[in-house]
């Protein structure tokens, strides 16, 4: 059909990580939490189901915004809820970026930003991370056009590293546009950037309940921004973007900080073991502040290793970033989500058998 | 903040119908189904909750597409699922309409189309329904620019009337752009336009499980379009736009056609009583093919009636369409959702006491 906008026809859609059905695969490829969510989440969802689903949900997800605001130290009007943080990234892009505009983000990072720019018929300006995963001044002065929006995944994927809040504050000050700090993995990190939102209207933090609260299947995320920013973003969202079950479940989830602390503790312990053992196996692994680790290898080609792991029933993410390597560091690596100890032991045993 | 796109700052957001919390109000304002959904839906959701929500949902909602395809007579690749049919309307607008483009729709109808056009910085071309709610050739040749997308709510809101499929086919043929037939209320009607999708790549039908399946709270809708059309639309949707609970619930819902037939029967019976009694009270009520009726009045101002109903605990929708009246017919009316018999009796009794 020739009616579609030409740039939509020309673009390639985003390909999410594989989602094999069934329980036979040890799935360590999309950074899901290996544990069940808080039982309080399940109970809250059950109550809504019993009450019935015939009525529309609260368009503003007020219950969640009040509870999250209490937990995080913000008034509810600083919070905007979405159908996963992906929807908030979409809303932000639509509200700020038009055809021909420039979107800046660091590389390698979350490739969805490119898809979001493509849909808006916008241009992308990728700025390479330094070799130690710090971010240089090119991020604010790249010379490749004035950006209308900048994204920083922090902690970053695939590296699992963090740009410190002081540095993020400086980047936000120097940028000529809003900076979205995508904190999808922040609950596994030592620092966060929420305080910057209070100080700078240009800083917008997005979060998701998918990873740390084990709710990928529920689709619930939120943004924290100054109220006059939220006010504009609301215009772009679908009226009833969060369903009644996800609002109730997400509210119960963020209310159960004891569950979060316990689950975080387990994942960080497993992450430490995984990192150490991968290094023993000859991988280069940077210290992670997320629920995954990024393993590159100085000599072994990793795509065959990924394939052999998959054949052995262990699915990790093979990622290749052309132009990222520097002769010493290679372009590609394996991103391994932190599963249960049993899953990680199985993955490591298989890896050990595959490497020389 | 001066960074937002100027047309976003300038626009007014869509205001959904009031969603009062609590059970004290008789809520007949947003066309919700008064009955609980099929028990099979509740059971299906319960099973997913028990299994856990830590994994991502199927990005393509395959289970629903297979089952809905069986029920409706389409292969799964003719179906695209969304977070409510509102999301599908958003996706369609983003894929087909850019800044300065023209979106055509009938008036009075679903005002969300204007919001969707506004977000894209597009223009709207509204074509009035005829006095008998038929749609004239101005819809295809309005003279106000060449549309890139046309919307037809069918059955229509607020009128509850249907443009017959033969007429829709002729409109689609004559239009220079795709025609979205928004069939949110079609399960309460005598006809539908699914067959046109097979014959004409320009016809795209959208549906929701909100109204007829009593699942407003779940947020699940779908589009039926030719596979090469679906292929383009997929690029614009968020990867995991439907959550695991809604996919399971929606699949169980569309599988339970016996529940739909029974519930539809109850609502149509109540609709008949409501229509008849409103006419006895002096309202003009056009025959409805939806789960609401549109009541205008030849002499009484209706906004005060709406307010008095609300004060009495009965919430209906007061809608005013400037420029719609023709001297005889007024601009405004009450749109009353078909509730339970008890709710409708209470509404009618209160109305009778308010009118002279």
Q: Across chain A, how many H-helices and E-strands are there?
A: 12, 12
B46 to chain A, any CB pair closer than 8 A? The answer is: yes
pLDDT at B330: 80
B299 to chain A, any CB pair closer than 8 A? The answer is: no
Query: Crossing angle for the helix pair B341-354 and B302-311, nearest 10 degrees?
Result: 120
Strand order in the sheet with B123-128: B79-82, B221-224, B203-208, B179-182, B147-153, B102-107, B123-128
Show residues of chain B in contact with A208, CB under 8 Å: none
Closest partner residue to A240 (CB to CB) among B13, B86, B241 is B86
Has residue A144 been placed in a domain? yes
Q: Do A215 and A94 belong to one domain?
A: yes
Q: Do A70 and A203 belong to one domain?
A: yes
Percent of chain A with pLDDT over 70: 98
Residue A200 has pLDDT above 90, yes or no: yes
DSSP label of B192: -
Q: How far is A351 from chain B (nearest CA, A)?
A: 24
Q: Which of A189, A223, A255 is the last residue of a domain?
A: A255
Closest partner residue to B214 (CB to CB) among A54, A217, A240 is A54
Q: How far is B210 from chain A (nearest CA, A)?
A: 7
Q: How far is it, in rounded angstroms, from Cα B106 to Cα B109?
A: 6
Closest partner residue to B240 (CB to CB) among A177, A219, A226 is A219
A154 to chain B, any CB pair closer than 8 A? The answer is: no
Can you give the CATH number for the domain in which A10 is found?
Answer: 3.90.1150.10
Show residues of chain B in contact with A117, CB under 8 Å: none
Sign of CA dihedral A166, A115, A98, B123: negative
Interchain contact, A54 vs B218, CB within 8 Å: no
Confidence band, pLDDT 50/70/90 cuts, at residue A290: very high
- Average pLDDT in the A5-24 region? 84
Q: How far is A311 from chain B (nearest CA, A)?
A: 21
Low-confidence spans in chain B with pLDDT less than 70: 1, 22, 327-328
Interchain contact, A8 vs B55, CB within 8 Å: no
pLDDT tens figures, A72-119: 999 999 999 999 999 999 999 999 999 999 999 999 999 999 999 999
By C-alpha distance, the chain A residue nearest B236 is A119
Residue A22 has pLDDT above 80, yes or no: no
Collect all residues with Cβ–Cβ distance below 8 Å to B2 and sequence separation of at least 6.
Answer: none
Three-state SS at B313: coil
Q: Do A273 and A145 belong to one domain?
A: no
Kind and range of the H or E run holding A205: strand A203-208
Q: How far is it, in rounded angstroms, from Cα B233 to Cα B227?
A: 10
Has residue A136 been placed in a domain? yes
Confidence band, pLDDT 50/70/90 cuts, at residue A15: confident
Show residues of chain A in contact with B94, CB under 8 Å: 94, 119
pLDDT at B213: 98
By C-alpha distance, the chain A residue nearest B202 is A1
What does the angle CA A37 – CA A220 – CA A256 come to, to the nearest 5 degrees? 40
pLDDT at A94: 98
Q: Do A281 and A143 belong to one domain?
A: no
Closest partner residue to A216 (CB to CB) among B1, B53, B202 is B53
Q: Do B11 and B65 belong to one domain?
A: no
pLDDT at A67: 98
Q: Which of A223, A255, A287 is the last residue of a domain?
A: A255
Can you give the CATH number for the domain in which B245 is found?
Answer: 3.40.640.10
Q: Do A200 and A273 belong to one domain?
A: no
pLDDT at B186: 98
Q: How far is it, in rounded angstroms, from Cα A301 to Cα A217?
A: 33
Q: How far is B85 from chain A (nearest CA, A)?
A: 10
Task: State residue B321 phi and psi, 5-degree precision.
Answer: -120, 85
Has residue A170 been placed in a domain? yes
Q: Which of B255, B273, B291 is the last residue of a domain?
A: B255
Has residue B282 been placed in a domain? yes
Collect all residues with Cβ–Cβ distance below 8 Å to B125 and sequence separation of at least 6.
Answer: B102, B103, B104, B105, B142, B144, B145, B147
Q: Do B58 and B153 belong to one domain?
A: yes
Task: Give the β-pairing of A203-208 and A221-224.
Answer: antiparallel
Three-state SS at B15: coil
Q: How far is B333 from chain A (nearest CA, A)?
A: 23
pLDDT at A137: 95
Q: Do B336 and B290 belong to one domain?
A: yes
Higher model confidence: residue B328 or residue A260? A260
pLDDT at B198: 98
Three-state SS at A164: coil
Task: Give the β-pairing of B102-107 and B123-128.
Answer: parallel
Three-state SS at A187: helix
Q: How far is A20 from chain B (nearest CA, A)?
A: 9
Confidence band, pLDDT 50/70/90 cuts, at residue A3: very high
Q: What is the pTM of this model?
A: 0.97
Size of interface A-B (CB pairs under 8 A): 237
Does residue B292 contact residue B31 with C-beta atoms inside 8 Å? yes
Within 10 A of B39 (CB to CB), how many other CB atoms are there?
11
Collect all residues with Cβ–Cβ distance below 8 Å to A308 and sequence separation of at least 6.
Answer: A350, A354
B316 to chain A, any CB pair closer than 8 A? The answer is: no
Q: Do B323 and B174 belong to one domain?
A: no
Closest partner residue to B54 (CB to CB) among A57, A201, A214 is A214
Interface test with B, best of A53, A117, A267 (most B CBs within 10 A): A53
Interchain contact, A8 vs B112, CB within 8 Å: no
Show residues of chain B in contact with A197, CB under 8 Å: none
Provide the residue range defining the domain that includes A241: 39-255
Question: What spatial distance separates the first Cα and last Cα of chain B, rounded to whole Å?
Answer: 52
Q: Do B245 and B264 belong to one domain?
A: no
Has residue A1 been placed in a domain? no
Quote the number of domains for chain B. Answer: 2
Q: Do B240 and B328 belong to one domain?
A: no
Nearest by Cα to A290 from A182, A128, A194 = A182
Show residues of chain A in contact with B78, CB under 8 Å: none
Q: How far is A355 from chain B (nearest CA, A)?
A: 29
Has residue B150 been placed in a domain? yes
By C-alpha distance, the chain B residue nearest A13 is B235
Please list, residue by residue across B153-166, b when 16 or more beta carbons sit within 10 angstroms of its beta carbon and e when fewer do.
bbbbbbbbbbbebe
| Four-point Cα dihedral B265, B267, B272, B275, nearest 10 | -170
Q: Do A286 and A346 belong to one domain?
A: yes
- Average pLDDT in the A263-288 region? 98
Nearest by Cα to B103 from B141, B150, B136 = B150
- Average pLDDT in the A42-68 region? 97
Interchain contact, B234 vs A13, CB within 8 Å: yes
Nearest by Cα to B219 from A239, A62, A34, A60 = A239
pLDDT at B326: 74
pLDDT at A24: 85
Has residue B1 been placed in a domain? no
Does residue B325 contact residue B331 with C-beta atoms inside 8 Å? yes
CA separation, residue A156 to residues A16, A107, B97, B264 (Å): 17, 10, 34, 51
């Amino acid at each position: 059909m020739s009616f579609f906008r030409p740039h939509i026809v020309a673009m390639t859609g985003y390909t999410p990580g594989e989602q094999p059905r069934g329980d036979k695969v040890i799935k360590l490829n999309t950074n899901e939490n290996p544990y069940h969510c808080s039982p309080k989440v399940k109970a809250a969802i059950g109550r809504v189901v019993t009450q019935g689903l015939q009525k529309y949900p609260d368009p503003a997800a007020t219950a969640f915004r009040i509870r999250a605001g209490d937990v995080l130290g913000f008034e509810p009007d600083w919070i905007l809820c979405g159908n996963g943080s992906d929807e908030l990234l979409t809303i932000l892009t639509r509200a700020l970026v038009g055809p021909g505009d420039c979107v800046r983000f660091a590389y390698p990072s979350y490739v969805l930003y490119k898809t979001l720019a493509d849909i808006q018929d916008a241009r992308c300006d990728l700025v390479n991370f330094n070799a130690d995963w710090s971010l240089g001044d090119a991020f604010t002065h790249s010379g490749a056009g004035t950006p209308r929006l900048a994204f920083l995944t922090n902690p970053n994927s695939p590296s699992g590293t963090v740009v410190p809040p002081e540095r993020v504050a400086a980047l936000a000050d120097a940028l000529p546009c809003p900076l979205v700090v995508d904190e999808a993995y922040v609950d596994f990190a030592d620092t966060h950037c929420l305080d910057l939102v209070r100080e700078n209207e240009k800083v917008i933090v997005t979060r998701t309940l998918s990873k740390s609260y084990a709710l990928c299947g529920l689709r619930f995320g939120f943004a924290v921004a100054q109220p006059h920013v939220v006010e504009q973003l609301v215009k772009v969202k679908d009226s009833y973007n969060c369903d009644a079950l996800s609002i109730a479940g997400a509210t119960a989830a963020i209310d159960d900080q004891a569950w979060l602390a316990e689950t975080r503790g387990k994942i960080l312990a497993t992450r430490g073991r995984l990192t150490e053992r991968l290094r023993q196996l000859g991988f280069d692994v940077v210290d992670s502040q997320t629920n995954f680790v990024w393993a590159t290898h100085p000599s072994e080609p990793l795509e065959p290793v990924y394939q052999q792991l998959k054949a052995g029933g262990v699915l990790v993410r093979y990622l290749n970033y052309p132009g990222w390597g520097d002769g010493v560091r290679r372009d590609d690596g394996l991103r391994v989500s932190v599963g249960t100890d049993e899953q990680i032991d199985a993955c490591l045993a298989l890896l050990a058998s595959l490497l020389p």
